[in-house]
């Protein structure tokens, strides 16, 4: 079944943040970008997952499952990487902004996962694709 163009564009845009940010960290690790702290082994693994999952979602492969995995990843990231409650002033505002950005992306990923599970061409009712 052909997917509507706005849906495909939205899927690509939503996944682009993972490809872009994960790719940036990988480029820092291999020395192609300087001036930033290179991630450790766990950071490289998570960055590679982000890039691969983002590309897969862009291409329409396993969108439902990968969207849920990335949503869980972002929930953890929101609370660990952006603890706005530990800051004050302008720093708190910046961390809050990133925290809320993560929440909005989580919402988009959950919607994407739900949409994939309820597409008319789904093989089994409720099965995630």
Write the pLDDT tens digit of every residue in 17-54.
Answer: 999 999 999 999 999 999 999 999 999 999 999 999 99
How far does Cα 21 stand from its chain's mean position? 9
Q: Quick check: 15 and 103 in contact, CB under 8 A?
A: no
Per-residue confidence at 127, pLDDT binned at 50, 70, 90? low
pLDDT at 119 (0 to 100) = 83
Token duo for residue 41: 């082994």
In angstroms, the first-to-last Cα distance of the chain is 14
User: With helix as H, strand as E and coil as C, how does the chain read?
Assistant: CCCCHHHHHHHHHHHHHHHHHHHHHHHHHCCCCCCCCCCCHHHHHHHHHHHHHHHHHHHCCCHHHHHHHHHHHHHHHHHHHCCHHHCCHHHHHHHHHHHHHHHHHHHHHHHHHHHHHCCCCCCCCCCCC
Q: What share of the chain in percent tops pLDDT 70? A: 92
> Is it the case that residue 126 has pLDDT exceeding 60?
no
pTM of the entire predicted model: 0.87
pLDDT at 2 (0 to 100) = 85
Query: Between 3 and 15, where is the model more confident?
Result: 15
pLDDT at 5 (0 to 100) = 95
Instruction: Find the mean pLDDT for residues 59-88.
Output: 96
The overall average pLDDT reported for the chain is 92
Q: CA–CA distance from 124 to each of 59, 100, 119 (Å)?
A: 22, 34, 10
């Amino acid at each position: 079944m052909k997917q509507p163009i706005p849906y495909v564009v939205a899927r690509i845009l939503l996944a682009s943040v993972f490809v872009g940010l994960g790719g940036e960290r990988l480029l820092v690790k291999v020395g192609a970008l300087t001036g930033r702290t290179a991630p450790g082994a766990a950071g490289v693994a998570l960055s590679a997952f982000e890039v691969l999952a983002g590309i897969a979602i862009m291409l329409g492969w396993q969108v439902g499952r990968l969207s849920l995995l990335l949503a869980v990843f972002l929930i953890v990231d929101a609370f660990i990487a952006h603890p706005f409650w530990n800051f004050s002033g302008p720093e708190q505002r910046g961390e809050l902004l990133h925290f809320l950005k993560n929440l909005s992306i989580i919402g988009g990923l959950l919607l994407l996962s739900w949409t994939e599970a309820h597409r008319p061409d789904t093989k089994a009712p409720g099965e995630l694709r």
